[in-house]
């Protein structure tokens, strides 16, 4: 078991005022052409791309977040790329936590396999999970007190409300009377409140709350107190960064993991891609700092 502690890593980054998360969704087809000159070396091209992005941004970011789908799509090559990328981060930026965006959930015994892959083999510090199967099934994740377990509540996609906005007729009653009561039993609110009050006994839970729904983001922040929030939806999805900061920050003006994927990665398709990525990440960092001061 690794001696890395996810919450300690995140707290250290937040204390330095760093809240930008770069999503390493490295699609081979979108890589700069000069990296794809050797078609038989697809794996090396993606690893080199990721490495240059990491080197260019490691002093700015709060975290890196590879989405497993982009790597799994390449088969064994992609899994190798993912492992080499994680190892590179641990070597070159050991103070930066890594989130595996895999959105896992299954029965408990199957989750043991996911846990071993994500944490013990790959070396991720955090993972995204679905809440649908309940706490009992997700126990293998939740028991890893050294890792951050990030639970989907209000996602950033346009169709998120199909289930997440449903009214629940038998809401989960608050466990902690200090926390605010729900004005209405909306599913995403019930999930957020249940995770914060029941699932978070190890202090290792976080919630996904999309920047594309700033009002719901603010409600989630109110419900979960100072618990960390992963906030996707900035960049091409159109989320408002200022609203994300002001609705997503906790009482310490911290607790935010604000993700931008393609907007950073593919800021340029030329040889200057890493410098362009840094410029976007730096602008995002500077804007967050400014918004967080008001």
- Distance, in Å, from the CA atom of 231 to the CA atom of 211, rounded to the nearest integer, reads 6
Q: Let me know: does 136 contact 108? Beta carbons within 8 Å.
A: yes
pLDDT of 198-226, one tens digit each? 999 999 999 999 999 999 999 999 999 99
- Distance, in Å, from the CA atom of 67 to the CA atom of 146, rounded to the nearest integer, reads 21
The residues annotated as belonging to the active site are: 103
What is the band of 59 on the pLDDT scale with cuts at 50, 70, 90?
very high
> Chain-wide mean pLDDT for the chain?
93
Query: Other C-beta atoms within 10 Å of 179: how many?
Result: 15
Question: Tell me, what's the pLDDT at 122?
Answer: 98
The continuous run of DSSP H or E covering 128 comes out as strand 126-129
> For 72-81, 82-91, 169-178, 185-194, which range has the lowest pLDDT when averaged over its residues?
169-178
Residue 92 has φ and ψ, to the nearest 5°, of -95, -25
pLDDT of 144-188, one tens digit each? 999 999 999 999 999 999 999 898 876 555 555 555 555 557 999
Statement: 6-292 belongs to CATH 3.40.50.720:
no
Q: Let me know: does 188 contact 164? Beta carbons within 8 Å.
A: yes
What is the band of 238 on the pLDDT scale with cuts at 50, 70, 90?
confident
Alpha carbon 2 to its chain centroid, in Å, reads: 20
Q: Tell me the two tokens of residue 211.
A: 């920047």
Instruction: Find tokens 């960049």 and name the residue.
Output: 235
Give the torsion through C-alpha atoms of 30, 32, 37, 38, to 10 deg: -50
Question: Tell me, what's the pLDDT at 166?
Answer: 92
For the chain, give the percent of residues with pLDDT over 70: 94
pLDDT of 265-274, one tens digit each? 999 999 999 9
Burial 3-20 (b: 16+ CB within 10 A, else e): ebbbbebbeebbeeebbb
What is the pTM assigned to this prediction? Answer: 0.94
- Domain range summary for the chain, segments of one domain joined by +: 6-292
Q: Let me know: does 215 contact 17? Beta carbons within 8 Å.
A: no
Q: Let me know: does 264 contact 236? Beta carbons within 8 Å.
A: no
Average pLDDT over residues 258-277: 97
SS3 at position 21? strand
pLDDT of 193-204, one tens digit each? 999 999 999 999
């Amino acid at each position: 078991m690794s001696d890395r502690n996810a919450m300690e890593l995140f707290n250290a980054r937040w204390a330095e005022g760093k809240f930008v998360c770069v999503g390493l969704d490295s699609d081979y087809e979108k890589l700069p052409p000069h990296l794809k000159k050797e078609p038989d070396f697809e794996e090396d091209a993606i690893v080199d791309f990721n490495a240059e992005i990491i080197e260019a941004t490691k002093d700015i970011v709060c975290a890196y977040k590879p989405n497993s789908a982009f790597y799994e799509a390449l088969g064994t090559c992609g899994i190798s790329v993912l492992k080499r990328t994680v190892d590179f981060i641990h070597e070159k930026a050991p103070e930066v936590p890594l989130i595996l965006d895999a959105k896992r959930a299954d029965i408990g015994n199957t989750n043991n396999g996911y846990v071993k892959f994500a944490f013990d083999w790959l070396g991720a510090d955090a993972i995204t999970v679905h809440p649908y199967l309940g706490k009992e099934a997700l126990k293998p994740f939740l028991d890893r007190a050294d890792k951050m377990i990030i639970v989907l509540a209000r996602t950033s996609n346009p169709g998120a409300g199909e289930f997440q906005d449903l009214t629940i007729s038998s809401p989960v009653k608050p466990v902690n009377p200090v926390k605010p009561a729900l004005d209405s039993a909306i599913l995403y609110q019930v999930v957020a409140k249940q995770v914060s009050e029941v699932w978070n006994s190890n202090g290792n839970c976080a919630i996904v709350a999309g920047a594309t729904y700033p009002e719901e983001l603010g409600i989630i922040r109110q419900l979960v107190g100072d618990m960390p929030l992963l906030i996707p939806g900035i960049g091409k999805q159109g989320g408002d960064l200022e609203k994300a900061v002001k609705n997503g920050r906790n009482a310490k003006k911290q607790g935010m993991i604000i993700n931008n994927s393609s907007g950073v990665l593919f800021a340029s398709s030329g040889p200057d891609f890493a410098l362009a990525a840094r410029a976007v990440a730096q602008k995002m960092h500077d804007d967050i700092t400014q918004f967080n001061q008001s």
